[in-house]
Amino acid sequence: MKATLSVDLTNEISEIDPRLWGSFTEHLGRSIYEGIYQPNHETADEDGFREDVIEAVKKLKVPLIRYPGGNFVSGYNWQDGIGPKDQRPVRLDLAWRSVETNQFGLHEFIKWCQKVGATPDMAVNLGTRGIDEARNLVEYCNFPKGTYWSDLRRKNGAEDPFNIKVWSVGNEMDGDWQIGHQTAHEYGRLVHETAKAMKLVDPTVELVACGSSNHQNETYGSWEETVLENAYDDVDYLSLHQYYDNFDDNLAEFLGKSVDFDNFISEVVAISDAVKARKHSKKQINLAFDEWNVWYHSMGADDAQEPWTQAPHLLEDHYDFEDALLVGSLAITLLKHADRVKIGCLAQLVNVIAPIMTNTEGTPSVWYQTIFYPFMQVSNYGQGVALTPTQTVPTYQAKNYEVPYIDSIAVYNSDMDEVVVFIVNKAKEQTEFSMSIDSAQLNQIVEATQFAGYDIHQTNEDQSMTLESLKTVHIDGNHIDAQLEPLSWNMIRINVKA
């Protein structure tokens, strides 16, 4: 099979917002406890944070982390997680039917973010709480001093404000599983009023309103429209969530889901812009794809979990090779929409549908899932400017979509003088990939890697699956050729002179 990609350094989709490669950590299962926080672990630092996990998270270079939920946030009292730890209440977490000790809370999260080099995306509870709690939380976090909430923060050990910029206004409020689920109209009105109060406390905050929790939800479309009709001027981003499964064990259908992901983004852009036009607004709403991943392997085990325990093993998907291919393909799709998707959160980060897994004791203490590798490469090298791709690629017919066998995108990083190309080969045969890069002189290949050659259902508990060098890449003038392995994720970094 043959595929071509042409790009020109002067033909840009958009600057890539570094926050596209964010992630998410929720009080859920072993994401926080036994994940990032475990004071009795041999690698725990003075704050009880696992240093082995900090090192792994740093490899992913996540710039932004959404917290504390997810479904959890819709029943959460943030005040439970501040102040002396021995005085914090133990509560029922109704979302995940678990026991929450509150030993990890707001201050711990901020400190941990600083240690991993990320900024927070703080979610507020619009399920059981509302305007008052949200504006108090902004005051607690961002107001310098001299008021009840800001002085309480100082009393609790943080003299300087946290200055949290990005805030999620609720979580999946369209879902009937959500505590405090609302109609689009109710939620739209509440966002309007909550956002007003939050921005009165700190006009510099950026707010994310909940879009649909998935695009199969029956209110999808009208939900986005109604929420934006009510709150267009108050918020900055609209969220999208989507998880994919392969319960049918159908590889071609599964890998074709990137087309569905692509359509979902285009549709939400269209809906947002229709509301913009109707309102004669000059403002553009951008998108926050703040939950995306594969999620299904653990669902049976989760149903069998005993409720009301601390840090239960929930949502512990062990990802296989085909999952890594789809995650790579979804990441490429996000880059194709870099003009409108400014925030992305791979859901989640540690233990819960996550690229990083921990063992509570023994070795390895941390292990990388298959999806770790493509995500690590896009988060480290999917930076700069996304270039408009012109592709010639054979396609196959899935149930609902025509799917290109090759997904690819190139980015230009002028700081590093590099063009970086990401490619997924979804075909079960080798593919001759040839690429032209115009408006640049191609100097040399800096790095070329592939993730290939594994059984589609192989998982990585034993850490035997790794990136390898892609040896078939050649430069000839402004052309690059490579032989791509069947079913492979590939990255090629080229030193260029613009």
Return residues touching ligand AHR (CB under 6 A).
Answer: 26, 69-71, 171-172, 213, 291, 347-348
| Residue nearest to ligand AHR according to CB distances in the complex | 70
Q: CA–CA separation, 402 vs 102, rounded Å?
A: 48
- Is position 172 annotated as part of the catalytic site? yes
| CB nearer ligand AHR, residue 227 or residue 393 | 227
CB neighbourhood size of 146 (10 A):
8
Decide whether 74 or 258 has the Cβ nearer to ligand AHR. Answer: 74
Which residues, in sequence order, are bridge partners of residue 475? Answer: 480
Dist CA 45 CA 318 (whole Å) = 27
Distance CA 438, CA 378 (A): 22
CA distance 321 to 117: 29
Report helix, strand or coil for 241: strand
Residue carrying structure tokens 């030193």: 495
Smallest distance from ligand AHR to CB 4, Å? 38
Q: Which of 12, 34, 139, 172 is catalytic?
A: 172
Query: Do residues 121 and 67 touch, judged by C-beta distance below 8 A?
Result: yes
Residues paired with 390 in a beta bridge: 6
CB of 142 to ligand AHR, least distance (A): 24
Task: Work out how close the CB of 196 gets to ligand AHR at its nearest, in angstroms, rounded to a whole number.
Answer: 25
DSSP classification of residue 73: G
Which tokens is 243 given? Answer: 């998880």
Torsion-angle region of 461 (φ positive above 0: left; ψ -120 to 50: alpha; else: beta): alpha
* Nearer of residues 260 and 290 to ligand AHR, judged by Cβ: 290
Q: Which of 139, 291, 316, 418 is catalytic?
A: 291
Q: Which is nearer to ligand AHR, 123 or 393 (CB)?
A: 123
Q: Is 291 a catalytic residue?
A: yes
Q: Which is nearer to ligand AHR, 156 or 217 (CB)?
A: 217
Compute the least distance from the CB of residue 178 to ligand AHR, in Å: 8
Our CB check for ligand AHR shows the closer of 26 and 139 to be: 26
Least distance between ligand AHR and beta carbon 44 (Å): 25
**Residue 348 Cβ vs ligand AHR, minimum distance, rounded to whole Å:** 6
Residue with tokens 């791709």: 389
Q: What letter represents residue 236's amino acid? A: D
Q: Where are the beta strands (DSSP E) in 373-430?
A: 385-387, 390-392, 395-397, 402-404, 406-413, 418-425
* CA angle at 271 for the pair 175 and 382, rounded to the nearest 5°: 85
* Residue 69 CB, nearest approach to ligand AHR (Å): 5
User: In the complex with ligand AHR, which residue's Cβ is closer, 355 or 384?
Assistant: 355
Torsions phi, psi of 238, nearest 5?
Answer: -115, 135
Helix (H) / strand (E) element for 137: namely helix 131-142
CB of 442 to ligand AHR, least distance (A): 41
Residues 212-219: contacts with CB under 8 Å, at least 24 apart? 212/174, 212/240, 212/241, 213/172, 213/174, 213/175, 213/178, 213/241, 214/241, 214/242, 214/243, 215/240, 215/242, 215/260, 215/264, 215/267, 217/174, 217/175, 219/174, 219/184
Nearest residue (CB) to ligand AHR, 28 versus 56: 28
The residues carrying an active-site annotation are 172, 291
